[in-house]
Amino acid sequence: MESKRKWTKVFLYFLLALILLYLIFPFIWAISSSLKSDNQLIMTPATLLPRDPTTGEVSFYWGNFITVFNNNVFVNGLKNSAIVSVSTTLLALIIGAFAAFALGKLRFKGRTAMLYLVLSITMFPQISVLTGLYSVIRNIGVDVMTGMILSYMLFTLPFTVWVMSSFFKGLPDALLEAASIDGASFFQSFYLVLLPLTLPAIVTTGLLAFIAAWNEYLFALTFTSLKQSDRTVPVAIAMFSGQSAHQEPFGAIMAASIIVTVPLLILVFIMQKKIIGGLTAGAVKE
Amino acid sequence: MANFVWDVGMNSTNKSEVRTAWTLLLPAIVIFALIAFYPLVSVFYYSLTDKKFASDKPTEFIGLDNYSMMLSMEFYEIPPQKDDAGKVKLDENGDTLYEDPIDILPMDPVAYWEMYTFNIFGKRYTLAATDPEFLISIKDTVIFSVLAVALELIIGMAFALTLNSHFKGRGVMRMALLVPWAIPTVVSTKMWAWMFSSQGYGLFNTVAYYLGLSDHQIAFLVTPDWQLPIMVVIDVWKTMPFMALMLLAGLQTIPSDYYEAASIDGASKVRQFFNITLPLLKPAIVVALVFRMLDSLRVFDLFQVLFGSKFFSMSSYTYYKLIEGKEMGYSSACSVVIFIAILIFSLFFIRVLGREQINGK
């Protein structure tokens, strides 16, 4: 019995190791490739650690990172992505918190209909409004950056409203009643009493909105075809090309990928509990 | 559950409450009107026109022409080749030689192009369409979605069950699950494209070399048979963690005494899975499946980054018609078809989900 349990444990850890390898190996391979020079990249058989093609010694090459940081499109893309993602997050949080408070804590006709509307926009295929949004930006000449920020509300706002309204709903009504007895208006009780209490939900939804905006590609690719200097980082990486048209510069692409992903991963690791809570909000019924 | 507040003695504030509610909702409503409602209506309208960007031709209202162009399909019988004497030509194996479908299919008023050709009852037929690329993109997107989501469910379930057992380092495993999820799809696609490099130095070709599986390089991304499976592999890696986390959250709500009671009664682990875990996990599974399926049917990044205009999803086809073809009217019609398809799918699932919840009570 004792030895059977021991073997079960061994098997479990073996499975866990396999899962871990599957999940993070592509990322490790990308890091390793980003530290290889062009000659090291085309060594056969490929090596896990960057090695010198002739001596076989481990040798790291930093040139890809230098190339990437000297690439204007990429550096500009980082800046654009930061502006777009931060603006999207703030806008979604502010407007979302207003709407969520109304839907979570106030009583009015049409509340259920509004909740359904928000939920249905969550399922909205972005491609179905792409042509419409594109023609507005193209014909009216909306600033491309503004166009991206506004259109990113399509997938950040419904989610923010949805998660935050259930959070507001969970807060005790006694708080609001007390505030109302003290003569506070709804609006005052909203930002003086409820908002500070919902800080955890704000952090979670804000982070998810930021990641969604940072990673967005379809709208960014389409809209920035009108103004290339507004390209965000995913578009820049997708269009990364080297000196020759035939050979994709994978070393530099991997370096750019690492630069874009590492800050995101650090953020995610610090906030992992909150993120998992936010992501799985729909799976478990309260 | 509707949770109405202000139930007690709040009638006097009711009016101002309603006004406050709509004031707070106003910004969100304006934004949704601007970025969802208005564009959607304009897309429906443009889908009935032949609008093109950067064209001098005035836009005309053409009714449902775009839709019939997109969706028209017909079978054509392909006659055998005949010699001057009117006898059917045979090849060296004695098989009938047929005409080339391209010579048989009509060109006027609209051209039909070959999609599939097959033999049945000693005759040859061709399924032809006016826009085979769009129809094929629908077929490929659906196959891709079904395969990817099914695999995700199976692997995600295996992961969730493993992660739900007791072991040291659960935090590490949960962090690892978030790695593929957090990486931008463009980046993960590039990473996998590099691993699937057709050259000998690609990771999978290196693995194949070490395993002695192939003495030659496999051109993963170029060989048509490999393309769809590779996209499924990449998509499963990227999105399976979401599924696993949803299922894990569901698993953790199942009380452990259920399993203890079952083990005392002598039920095997397998029986416990099918009789306890699966039924109790069903709501979480359904929600995860719906989310993932809706997401998968609108796939764009993966197809566009990996294959550009060589292999379309429904979304990437629409994108290329708009940006490269500048065909505003036609791509709007594609958008409408995608919208309606996803709408039908959503309604169907909401009904199933609703029935599920009613029966569950």
Which string of DSSP letters, residue by residue, matches B209-258?
HHTT--SS---TTTSHHHHHHHHHHHHHHHHHHHHHHHHHHHHTTS-HHH
pLDDT value of position A243: 55
CA A243 to chain centre: 31
Across the interface, do A132 and B162 touch by the CB < 8 Å criterion? no
Closest CB from B179, B332, B342 relative to A24: B179
Percent of chain A with pLDDT over 90: 46
Quick: pLDDT tens for B238-268.
Answer: 999 999 998 998 898 888 888 888 888 888 8
Q: How many CB atoms lie within 10 A of CB A224?
A: 22
Percent of chain A with pLDDT over 70: 95
Question: pLDDT tier at B82 (50, 70, 90 boundaries)?
Answer: confident
Across the interface, do A283 and B332 touch by the CB < 8 Å criterion? no
* Mutation site for A-interface testing, chosen from B37, B186, B216, B290 by largest number of A Cβ within 10 Å: B186
Question: Residues 15 to 54 of A: which have CB under 8 A from any B CB?
Answer: 15-16, 19-20, 22-24, 26-27, 29-30, 33, 41-46
Q: Is the dihedral of CA B309, B299, A210, B23 positive or negative?
A: positive
Residue A31 confidence (pLDDT) above 70:
yes
What's the CA dihedral at B149, B150, B151, B156 to 10 degrees? 80
- Determine the angle formed by the axes of helices A2-34 and B170-182, rounding to 10 degrees: 30
Across the interface, do B319 and A218 touch by the CB < 8 Å criterion? yes
Q: How many CB atoms lie within 10 A of CB B253?
A: 13
Residue A172 confidence (pLDDT) above 70:
yes
Which residue is listed with tokens 């009570």?
B361
Question: pLDDT tier at B232 (50, 70, 90 boundaries)?
Answer: very high
Which residue is listed with tokens 């690609």?
B202
**Mean per-residue pLDDT of chain A:** 87
Residue A94 confidence (pLDDT) above 70:
yes
Question: pLDDT tier at B355 (50, 70, 90 boundaries)?
Answer: low
Structure tokens at A165: 């309204």
With contacts defined as CB-CB under 8 Å, which chain A residues touch B154?
Answer: none
Contact A276/B at CB under 8 A: yes
* Mutation site for A-interface testing, chosen from B3, B10, B25 by largest number of A Cβ within 10 Å: B25
pLDDT value of position B299: 94
Residue A8 confidence (pLDDT) above 80:
yes
pLDDT value of position B353: 67
What's the rounded Cα separation, in Å, for the pair B222 and B202? 14
What's the rounded Cα separation, in Å, for the pair B219 and B226? 9
Residue B77, SS3? strand
Structure tokens at B222: 């170029």
pLDDT value of position B359: 56
Mean per-residue pLDDT for B315-330? 94
Radius of gyration of chain B (CA): 27
Across the interface, do A125 and B338 touch by the CB < 8 Å criterion? yes
Question: pLDDT tier at B4 (50, 70, 90 boundaries)?
Answer: very low
Closest CB from A22, A257, A284 relative to B250: A284
Which residue is listed with tokens 């630069």?
A259
Residue B62 confidence (pLDDT) above 50:
yes
Quick: pLDDT tens for B166-180.
Answer: 888 888 888 899 999
What's the rounded Cα separation, in Å, for the pair A201 and B73? 51
Residue B308, SS3? helix
Q: How many CB atoms lie within 10 A of CB A48?
A: 11
C-alpha distances in Å from residue B146, one per residue of B116, B142, B242, B312: 22, 6, 17, 16
The 3-state secondary structure of A174-198 reads HHHHHHHHCCCCHHHHHHHHHHHHC
> What value of ipTM does the predicted structure carry?
0.89
Residue B120 φ then ψ, to 5° = -150, 140
Per DSSP (E only), the strands in A144-232 are none
Residue B135 confidence (pLDDT) above 90:
yes
Across the interface, do A106 and B202 touch by the CB < 8 Å criterion? no
> DSSP label at B183?
S
Lowest-pLDDT choice from A3-7, A252-256, B274-278, B305-309: A3-7
What's the rounded Cα separation, in Å, for the pair A217 and A193? 38
Across the interface, do B247 and A44 touch by the CB < 8 Å criterion? no
Q: Which residue of B has its CA nearest to A259?
A: B187
Which one, of A28, A35, A93, A94, lies nearest residue A62 by Cα?
A35
Question: pLDDT tier at B7 (50, 70, 90 boundaries)?
Answer: very low
Question: pLDDT tier at B1 (50, 70, 90 boundaries)?
Answer: very low
Question: pLDDT tier at B361 (50, 70, 90 boundaries)?
Answer: very low
Residue B1, SS3? coil
**What are the residue ranges of helices labelled H in chain B?**
14-32, 38-46, 65-71, 101-104, 132-163, 170-182, 185-195, 203-210, 224-251, 256-264, 269-272, 278-297, 301-307, 314-323, 328-360
Cβ-contact B296, B145 below 8 angstroms: yes
What's the rounded Cα separation, in Å, for the pair B154 and A250? 32
Lowest-pLDDT choice from A67-71, B101-105, B308-312, B322-326: B101-105
Which one, of A254, A256, A247, lies nearest residue A36 by Cα?
A254
Lowest-pLDDT choice from A3-12, A97-106, B63-72: A3-12
Question: pLDDT tier at A186 (50, 70, 90 boundaries)?
Answer: confident
Lowest-pLDDT choice from A67-71, A117-121, A173-177: A173-177
Contact B154/A at CB under 8 A: no
Closest CB from A128, A265, A283 relative to B288: A283
Mean per-residue pLDDT for B58-72? 90
Across the interface, do A283 and B328 touch by the CB < 8 Å criterion? no
Structure tokens at B235: 């998509």
Lowest-pLDDT choice from A142-151, B3-12, B153-162, B198-207: B3-12
Q: Which residue of A has its CA nearest to B27?
A: A95
Of B354 and B272, the structure prediction assigns the larger pLDDT to: B272
Q: Which residue of B has its CA nearest to A133?
A: B39
What's the CA dihedral at A19, A25, A27, A32 to 10 degrees? 160
Cβ-contact B153, B243 below 8 angstroms: yes
What's the rounded Cα separation, in Å, for the pair B240 and A80? 30
| Bridge-based pairing state of the strands B123-129 and B113-120 | antiparallel
Contacts of residue A116, defined as CB under 8 A and 6 or more positions apart, other chains included, come to: none
Question: pLDDT tier at A38 (50, 70, 90 boundaries)?
Answer: confident
Residue B307 confidence (pLDDT) above 80:
yes
What's the rounded Cα separation, in Å, for the pair A28 and A35? 11
What's the rounded Cα separation, in Å, for the pair A172 and A159? 23
Beta bridge partners of A9: none
Which one, of A67, A200, A126, lies nearest residue B338 by Cα?
A126
